[in-house]
Amino acid sequence: MFVSYVLIKMRKTIIAGNWKMYKTITEAIELANGVKRELFQMDSQNIEVVLCPPFTALAEVYEVIADSDIQLGAQDVYWQEEGAFTGEISCKMLKDAGCKFIIIGHSERRQFFGEINAFVNKKLKAALNSEITPIVCVGETLSEREGNRTFEVLGNQIKEGLDGITEEDVLKIVIAYEPVWAIGTGRTAKPIQAQETQKYIRNLLKELYNNDVAEAIRIQYGGSVKLENILELIQQPDVDGALVGGASLSIESFAGLVKIACGVKK
């Protein structure tokens, strides 16, 4: 009883902004500066905030946030440490640029760049080896949901993505449930849908590992999160934060989301 209470309390809310392929270096510096200014009094005991700019702006954004509690994340990585892999970036390079997090397996990577679960698994292991926290994205498409295949699809993404990851390592990851039909569409999952699906993910982690591990892993929700819906979403017991796309691109909305999330006590 005591153990699981401690583990539940360890699930600090995490709000990450995925800037996708937006923002020049100048714009990125401006956005990061604005977010830092707005979140100056953020209680970092209560919340973790991550900015994931495009690769070109990582170093500059890091400089802006280095003296704050805001952390830096990348949007993708390649699993090799170095070598002749034109166009790719390694964990070592991301770490060097100040990254503490990497988004892995985002649905846009899966959809447009042929990312399969086996690649997600290799990237995940590379990030863990480099002591960078992976944010592993999973989610079903609209036709999969309508065909009642949501749990089957998520089950495969999680089982294959986490294949061979030890109990000790799995505790270091964050999972982001991002239903593909809710990304960039303005169509958010209903809080009850997010809760039901994230509960399924937690139960699966319990089966794959054990109850304490499942209770300790943070699961974010992503997909059209905005000021109007974040409160109800993160009040759900199995929603431990948000991975935000569009609404992370302006200072007011992203800082506003963090402030709302910061006030939620579970």
Residues at the interface with ligand 13P (CB under 6 A): 18, 106, 178, 183-184, 222-225, 243-247
Asked whether 48 and 12 are in contact (CB, 8 A), the reply is: yes
* Alpha carbon distance 135, 71 (integer Å): 13
* Min CB(183)–ligand 13P separation in Å: 4
Residue facing ligand 13P at closest CB distance: 245
* Alpha carbon distance 48, 16 (integer Å): 8
Q: Which of residues 183 and 209 has its CB atom nearest to ligand 13P in the complex?
A: 183
> Which is the catalytic residue, given 106, 108, 140, 215?
106
Active site (annotated) includes residue 106:
yes
Q: Which of residues 119 and 209 has its CB atom nearest to ligand 13P in the complex?
A: 119
DSSP, collapsed to helix, strand or coil, labels residue 67 as: coil
* Min CB(103)–ligand 13P separation in Å: 7
* Token representation of residue 165: 């990851």
Active site (annotated) includes residue 228:
no
Nearest to 29 by CA among 64, 54, 70, 55: 64
* Min CB(223)–ligand 13P separation in Å: 5
* Min CB(106)–ligand 13P separation in Å: 6
> Which is the catalytic residue, given 115, 140, 144, 178?
178
Asked whether 91 and 81 are in contact (CB, 8 A), the reply is: yes
Q: Which of residues 243 and 261 has its CB atom nearest to ligand 13P in the complex?
A: 243
| Extended strands (E) in the chain | 13-18, 47-52, 71-74, 99-104, 133-138, 174-177, 218-222, 241-244
Q: Give the residue numbers annotated as catalytic, written as ranges.
A: 106, 178
